[in-house]
A and B are shown apart, each in its own frame.
Chain A
Amino acid sequence: MTATPLLSDLTTRAKAKAHSRTHPRSCPCGAATLTDRPDGTVVRHADTVAKAHAPDTARTELTARLTVAARLPGVLLPPLTPTPVDLHGRLVTFWPYGDPVDPENPDAAPWEEAATLLARLHRSPAPPGLPPMRGPAKAARAIARLRATIPQPATEPVLRAWAALPAWARAEAPMPGLPGQPLRPTLCHGDLHLGQLVRHPAPDGPWLLIDVDDLGVGGPAWDLARPAAWYACGLLPPDEWTRFLTAYRAASGPAVPADGDPWPALDVAARALTVQTAALAIVKATAADRPLDDVQQAVVDACTRMGS
């Protein structure tokens, strides 16, 4: 990997921040790049993580999201500093390091903990001025990338499934309230997947949610929709989905009714996330010039069934 000026300076900042927390002589000085993508670069130095956010990140919105993370201990990992700093035109934030979920060990996935954290997040009051949750906007961005990719046989059913979604799920209208009721503003994560949980302090502290970039006010079903979509597509076994849903209900999560069929509440968001996942799968497979694997095909097949 070529070290860009951003990456090398971000590494320096992470080191300086880590050494301001720990005496340099006691620091093991291990540095690692955790992520380096156009929409975010993340560097770790010992117990400190520095994140350069996406180039189009708005300062006031990110600061409002950091404030939420700082005020919900036990649910969200709190940042080390309350406001972002500037580096090469990007906004940078600092976080304590936490241990992530092991991608090699499906049996150890913390489904109950993830569900309980979401329920507690959804039951927390949303502070005034917090921007909307960005889930629908991310789905729309995935579709824009699909439209910019050479059409594949799988493209058409995915675009058809997208067109069948209501306008709010395509980020083309605000989410409507129920008839006769104002929409209760619910605090949502906006991009929940298993990479968004860490144990802090590492390695055996409690699980916490990370990554506030998409956090905001919206419909809480969106945060349950990825596991729901994986289950519907046959990628998540029914008992793991049921563990997740049962724990969310046990913690009085408001996204689904306390009992009975949860799908009327989940369907639109789960369809949107299935479409988003299928779109990105086609974009990535086309860029790599390889066919869809069976997992990616399962998500496209679900889009095909939505239109039938």
Chain B
Amino acid sequence: MQCPKCHAPMHTYNRNGVQIEQCSGCRGIFLDYGELEALTRVESQWAGPAAPPPQQGYPAAPAPAWGAPQGGHHGGHGGHYGNKRHKSFGHMLFSS
């Protein structure tokens, strides 16, 4: 679909099991009916005392001692692989 604001193409991402559309131009986000509530629900589960661990497709992979702390909230960036994932993918993972 096209962004209603700047008309650039929008790409679909899966965030905590919720499909959201993000514009490749202005980075605006489009939520379908009920998706905001679904995201809020997931977020409150994270904050809650009996929050289950996030479902991952693989058991924890080994990492070196100098690696970043794995999983959970990290440095106030809204989760370990939120905005940083998209930014690092677009820039760092393509340059030499």
Residues of A within 8 A of B (CB): 101, 103-107, 109, 138, 191, 193-195, 226, 230-239, 241-242, 245, 261-263, 267, 270-271, 274, 277, 280, 293-296, 298-299, 301-302, 305-306
Contacts and interface: CB of A to CB of B under 8 A. Distances in A.
A9 B10 CA distance: 37
Given A105-B11, A242-B61, A193 B95 contact: yes
Interface residues of B, number: 37
Interface in B48-96: 56-58, 60-71, 74-75, 77, 80-81, 84-96
29 contacts: A103-B91, A103-B93, A138-B96, A195-B95, A195-B96, A226-B93, A230-B88, A231-B61, A231-B67, A232-B66, A233-B68, A234-B68, A234-B69, A234-B81, A234-B84, A236-B93, A237-B81, A263-B62, A267-B64, A271-B66, A294-B84, A294-B87, A295-B91, A295-B92, A296-B92, A299-B92, A305-B65, A305-B66, A306-B66
Given A104-B24, A105-B11, A293-B87, A230 B93 contact: yes
Contacts of A231: 61, 63, 67
Contacts, number: 110
Given A107-B13, A195-B96, A235 B84 contact: yes
A274 B65 CA distance: 14
B44 interface: no
Given A232-B63, A267-B64, 19 more contacts: A101-B94, A103-B93, A104-B90, A107-B13, A230-B88, A230-B92, A230-B93, A232-B66, A234-B81, A234-B84, A235-B92, A238-B60, A242-B61, A245-B61, A263-B63, A295-B88, A298-B84, A299-B92, A302-B68
A234 B93 contact: no
A242 B58 CA distance: 7
B14 interface: yes
B12 to A, nearest CB: 8
The SS class assigned to the A binding surface is helix
Contacts of B75: 294
Interface of B: 11, 13-14, 24, 56-58, 60-71, 74-75, 77, 80-81, 84-96
Contacts of B86: 106
